[in-house]
Chains A and B, each alone.
Chain A
Amino acid sequence: MTAQVEIRNVSKVYERGNQKLEVLHSIDLDVEQQDFIALMGPSGSGKTTLLNLIGGLDSPTAGTLTVSGQRIDNLGESALARWRAATVGFIFQFYNLLPMLSAQKNVELPLLLTRLSAAQRRRNAAIALELVGLSDRASHKPTELSGGQQQRVAIARAIVSDPALLVCDEPTGDLDRHSAEEVLTLLQQLNRQHGKTIIMVTHDPKAAEYASHVVHLDKGTLVEQVERQA
């Protein structure tokens, strides 16, 4: 199977004033297509930093990062933005929906960057909302939805432009157990039935059980990769 994500010798150093803080040290990691990876580790281990690098939200200080056959560590701001729009779907712990837009309009947001007509955008958003089971809540504002529903809208927004890769930062961190299971089941379904490659940061061992691989980070270093039995 071809690697969806190839990480070679990647380091990330943050500079705060005169201080340099090395958050990731020479990380090497391959994520296969249609894999479901759970990134685990204690706070400050570099999980979110690594996820941000894979999602093209930040650039590594050293090393190479290739995602879906495209080297992204040397892309400029505009090229990286276009690449994100076409390749990656993002799911955050606190959903990050725009509060003044309805669920439907939130889901349509990534499609504004495409050449699709307004009718096509509406149709695609409706399909995505149906996939996450929220067709009947399309006109609701985020404040009118429960946490689990908001996260499902966020998932619909992440998949609406049909990206190959989904990056999820603690997607169940703000949810109760029941909602968390619904969201994780949905992610698993997207992975297994729709072939999405998923990389998920989590603290929760139960959430990690939904992944096919678990990668452990500690102090910015990859310490263990475990393949889970489906």
Chain B
Amino acid sequence: MKYLHLIWAALFRRKTRTVFTLLSVLAAFLLFGMLDAVRTAFTAPPSAAGVSRLFVGSRVSIIQSLPQSLLPQIQALPGVDEVTYANWFGGYYQDPKNVNVMFQIAIGPQYLDMHPEFVLPPAQRKAFDETRAGAVIGDTAARALGIKVGDRIPIRGSIFTNKDSGETTWTFDIVGIFKAAEEKQRGFENQLLFRWDYFDEGRAFGEGTVGWYIVRVSDPGESEKVAAAIDALSANSDHETSSQTEQAANLAFMKQIGDIGLIVGAIMAAVFFTLILLTGNTMAQAVRERIPELAVLKTLGFTNRSVLGLVLAESVLLVVLGGAIGLALAQVMLPGLNAASGGRVNFPPIGASTWLLGLALMVGIGLVVGVLPALRGMRLRIVDALAGR
């Protein structure tokens, strides 16, 4: 510790250069913290512990349907309070570019009751229950597409043909606009929800199947057990289920983008490789400029090993300082990102394992970028360095 002031002073000898290098290290580890949270979220094993609502989908694929015959079996399981179901529609309003502005989902009875996060005025809810082709739309989507209550809108589907018309265009009566109960759930407002009977009776294929079930358990403490019991119902069948939290289901859906772990790993490898080049160059330059000063230290009695240690410590300090600030910033920013996602994803906070991995990376990168300049400092001949040779 007695050398800390010496290392610190050497580090900030060229303040501007050090600050810019610190910023690049900070940015790299900010990215690391966030991407590692993404990786953790996507690679954590599905769990249903401690939640009151379960998502039951196909174990094979999220687009694989499940038989509607499972409904009474699930309802009959101990610990199950309520069950509903839904199906992805996959269409767009007016323009294919709107496909991500408003997702359409056919919902079974009790779906709205089981999702109190969709806040709908009672009159509109009543209208929904009484209108067979009725649909309710989230406030965000309604504003984005200029849709209001009373409109009759066509949705062009990409999967389901309407057997009455023989076309993929379905018509819905907008009877209500719902809002998310909390600001962080605003992401739910980009949905159009419509009645199951209208969908099921109108579709040309897929009768008797649902996309997924939503199950409410009586006791969140028993949710893991209930999930296992649900999955056991269809074990070894052609429609095996996977029961998990809705959060995990959302992530599983997003996983279809690709191998998130691989993508995150590749990005981080590229970032750290660039960081090593950048910081390595800074350290090499810093030591090159200080060769006479290192020679003075040796003159005063610092051994080759002490000089090696001082330069390595300086390089490790540089990376650890920038990295720790970056990781701490990521920790602060993650809740904001969760809120911005509107509840669709909930990245876990940066945990001890990420901090430990981050610190190991910081020390490792610090040593890698410092080793060549440190060896140069260690090997310098005092008389040559003092003479400027």
Known A-B contacts A58-B382, A96-B386, A98-B293; the reply to A78 vs B9 at CB < 8 A is no
A113 to B301, CA, bound (A): 7
Interface residues of A in 188-218 (CB under 8 A from B): none
B3 touches A112 (CB 8 A): yes
A57 touches B2 (CB 8 A): no
Name which residue of chain B comes closest to A55, CB basis.
B299
Task: Please report the total number of A residues contacting B with Cβ < 8 Å.
Answer: 25
B303 touches A98 (CB 8 A): no
Of A78, A105, A113, which one neighbours B300 at CB under 8 angstroms? A113
B292 touches A81 (CB 8 A): no
B300 touches A85 (CB 8 A): yes
A184 to chain B, nearest CB (A): 22
B386 touches A110 (CB 8 A): no
Of A55, A82, A98, A118, which one neighbours B296 at CB under 8 angstroms? A98
Interface residues of B in 1-57 (CB under 8 A from A): 2-3, 5-6, 9-10, 12-13
Interface residues of B in 258-301 (CB under 8 A from A): 292-293, 296-301
B301 touches A110 (CB 8 A): yes
| Interface magnitude class on chain B | 20 to 34
Residues of chain A within 8 A of B293, CB atoms compared: 96, 98-99
Interface residues of A in 148-187 (CB under 8 A from B): 157
A67 to B102, CA, bound (A): 88
Of B13, B303, B304, B383, which one neighbours A57 at CB under 8 angstroms? B383
Of B2, B3, B9, B303, which one neighbours A82 at CB under 8 angstroms? B303
A58 to chain B, nearest CB (A): 5
B302, CB-defined interface residue at 8 Å: yes
Interface residues of A in 50-88 (CB under 8 A from B): 52, 55, 57-58, 77-78, 81-82, 84-86
Of A85, A96, A99, which one neighbours B13 at CB under 8 angstroms? A99
B163, CB-defined interface residue at 8 Å: no
A100 touches B301 (CB 8 A): no
B9 to chain A, nearest CB (A): 4
A113 to B297, CA, bound (A): 10
Residues of chain A within 8 A of B3, CB atoms compared: 112
B387 to chain A, nearest CB (A): 8
B6 touches A112 (CB 8 A): yes
B54 to chain A, nearest CB (A): 61
Known A-B contacts A52-B383, A96-B292; the reply to A81 vs B301 at CB < 8 A is yes
Residues of chain B within 8 A of A90, CB atoms compared: 299-300
B126, CB-defined interface residue at 8 Å: no
Known A-B contacts A96-B292, A98-B296, A101-B6; the reply to A84 vs B301 at CB < 8 A is yes
Of B9, B301, B305, B386, which one neighbours A98 at CB under 8 angstroms? B9
Residues of chain A within 8 A of B298, CB atoms compared: 81
A110 touches B300 (CB 8 A): yes
A127, CB-defined interface residue at 8 Å: no
A138 to chain B, nearest CB (A): 15
A92 touches B301 (CB 8 A): no
A82 to B302, CA, bound (A): 8
A96 to B301, CA, bound (A): 15
B299 touches A82 (CB 8 A): no
A105 touches B5 (CB 8 A): yes
A29, CB-defined interface residue at 8 Å: no
Of B12, B302, B303, B304, which one neighbours A100 at CB under 8 angstroms? B12
Q: A residues engaging B (CB < 8 A)? A: 52, 55, 57-58, 77-78, 81-82, 84-86, 90, 92, 96, 98-101, 105, 109-110, 112-113, 118, 157
Q: B residues engaging A (CB < 8 A)? A: 2-3, 5-6, 9-10, 12-13, 292-293, 296-305, 381-383, 386
User: Can you list 18 pairs linking A and B with CB atoms under 8 Å apart?
Assistant: A52-B382, A52-B383, A55-B299, A58-B382, A78-B305, A81-B301, A81-B303, A82-B301, A82-B303, A85-B300, A96-B293, A100-B12, A100-B13, A109-B6, A112-B3, A113-B300, A118-B2, A157-B300
